[in-house]
Amino acid sequence: MELKKVVIIGGGFAGINLAQKLSRDRRFHITLVDKNNYNFFPPLLYQVATGFLEASNVSYPFRKFFQDKNNLRFSFGAFTEVFPNERKIATESGDIDYDYLVFATGTESNFFGMENVKRNAVPMKTVKDALALRNHILCNKEKATKTMDVVERRKLLSIVVAGAGPTGVEVSGMLAEMHRNIFKKDYPELRREEVQIYLVDALPVVLRPMSEKSQQETLEELNGLGINVLLNHTVKDYQDGIVTFANGKTIATKTLIWTSGVTATKLPGIPETSLGKGKRVLVDGFNKVIGLDNIFALGDICLMNSDEKFPDGHPQLAQVAIQQGKNLAQNLRLMLDGKPMETFAYKDKGTMAIIGVNKAVADLPGLHFKGFIAYFLWLVVHLFSLIRYRNQVKTFYNWMIAFVTRDQSLRFIMDAKPEK
């Protein structure tokens, strides 16, 4: 029997789970295409950015992951275009034919058309972003120890985090913990009161996807950490070290961390009629792209309206992507067996956010936790969500060191730019 060629574009939560499950069926030959040669775990990028985890803790090379899977191959190179009529895609590494094509490319930062913000802010979407942010923060601290200009030093030590979702809350909370427990020892030249952290959002609440109870408790914890939470503040511009809001207020800072929004990655070759809100790909209940044959989309990039519990589409969460990847693997097997496919139905396992050491909130089905219990649950869930035992062991070790000492020795300035 001729093997069915499945091409998966994107090796995130959805893509890697689909590839892993489908590789157990020898009737398929799977090719995973990605612009990186490694899988990484986005929920922990902020800990790489703040020097609490190494980049290798949250990353794992695809080729090593695929070593024992004979029907699974990796192709290094970014996707450039799909040709549905010819059943092939173009990538930076060449063309690839397919019988079934799956897009699992995720999202990218949405700057809402603000070119100055796009040019000058630091996003938090990739490992490169996290390392760039770590370099940026540490370099600013070093510059602040040298300058005698009070205004300039205040700019260097002020940090604005735009977006009060889980990522924004977690990165601002971690930065506040660092300033409280670490930077006063690392930088005795600087006064603690000179450091200002702002968490800003256009909405009137933090953690919009979570319960009202979690939102209120999180706001109280953030205030307790000394974070300046500015709600109903919409960023309109950022240039010359000045963040400008729609209400006319401004903040002088050398650091704007952008976690405020995402948009689907562009997919040349997919017709506009197959795209919905936020350029997400419209799919049916089986994750098949509407209007196209043998092309599917998973995770954050797709928009499914057929799930009666989520008529406006599923939340862009890791669990959605993981469950869709596993469901599509099962459906592709059923297709070859000539059996009817199973409609996807998301099983909500809850939402969590960590704020600081021993500070977290968790909304699980029918249950709510805060404080150490929520903190412990967050650690366990994220630890066991890492792709390999190696990552789990190294991450657990680093977390234990940080928990006991309230410190970590991973604050390296390693600029990826080549020296001139």
What is the Cα gyration radius of the chain?
Answer: 22
DSSP per-residue string spanning 226-254: T-EEE-S--EEEEETTEEEETTS-EEE-S
Tell me what the mean pLDDT of segment 178-204 comes to: 89
8 A C-beta contact, residue 58 and residue 40? yes
- The CATH number of the domain holding residue 268 is 3.50.50.60
pLDDT at residue 420 in the model: 36
- d(CA 367, CA 365) in angstroms, rounded, equals 6
Asked, for residue 15, whether it belongs to a domain, the answer is yes
pLDDT at residue 384 in the model: 86
- Residue 359 and residue 299 in one domain: no
Instruction: Give yes or no for residue 419 having a pLDDT over 50.
Output: no
Instruction: Give yes or no for residue 416 having a pLDDT over 80.
Output: no
8 A C-beta contact, residue 41 and residue 13? no
Tell me what the mean pLDDT of segment 23-37 comes to: 96
- The CATH number of the domain holding residue 209 is 3.50.50.100
- Residue 119 and residue 30 in one domain: no
Among candidate residues 305, 337, 369, the one where a domain is terminated: 337
Asked, for residue 280, whether it belongs to a domain, the answer is yes
pLDDT at residue 417 in the model: 52
Tell me what the mean pLDDT of segment 345-360 comes to: 92
Asked, for residue 345, whether it belongs to a domain, the answer is no
Asked, for residue 232, whether it belongs to a domain, the answer is yes
Please give the order of strands across the beta sheet that includes 255-258. Answer: 122-123, 255-258, 158-162, 196-200, 228-230
- Residue 167 and residue 308 in one domain: no
* Model pLDDT for residues 258-288, shown as the tens digit of each residue: 999 889 999 999 999 999 988 899 999 999 9
- Residue 18 and residue 132 in one domain: no
- d(CA 268, CA 395) in angstroms, rounded, equals 37
Residue with the bigger pLDDT between 294 and 385: it is: 294
* Model pLDDT for residues 100-130, shown as the tens digit of each residue: 999 999 999 999 999 999 999 999 999 999 9
Which residues sit opposite 9 in a β-bridge? Answer: 33, 103
Tell me the residue type at 31: T
Enter the pTM of the model. Answer: 0.91
* Count: domains in the chain: 2
* Model pLDDT for residues 49-102, shown as the tens digit of each residue: 998 899 999 999 999 999 989 999 999 999 999 999 999 999 999 999 999 999
Asked, for residue 61, whether it belongs to a domain, the answer is no
Among candidate residues 282, 309, 337, the one where a domain is terminated: 337
- Residue 222 and residue 162 in one domain: yes
Asked, for residue 418, whether it belongs to a domain, the answer is no
- Residue 103 and residue 210 in one domain: no
Asked, for residue 213, whether it belongs to a domain, the answer is yes
- Residue 137 and residue 207 in one domain: yes
* Model pLDDT for residues 311-342, shown as the tens digit of each residue: 999 999 899 999 999 999 999 999 999 999 99
pLDDT at residue 314 in the model: 94
Query: Domain range spanning residue 323?
Result: 4-35+77-109+263-337
- Residue 231 and residue 325 in one domain: no
- Residue 224 and residue 331 in one domain: no
Among candidate residues 291, 316, 337, the one where a domain is terminated: 337
CA of residue 159 relative to chain centroid, distance: 20
- Residue 130 and residue 188 in one domain: yes
- Residue 135 and residue 240 in one domain: yes
Tell me what the mean pLDDT of segment 165-176 comes to: 94
At 194, the pLDDT band (50, 70, 90 cuts) reads confident
Asked, for residue 299, whether it belongs to a domain, the answer is yes
pLDDT at residue 173 in the model: 94
- Residue 8 and residue 146 in one domain: no
Q: What are phi and psi of 75, to 5 degrees?
A: -120, 120
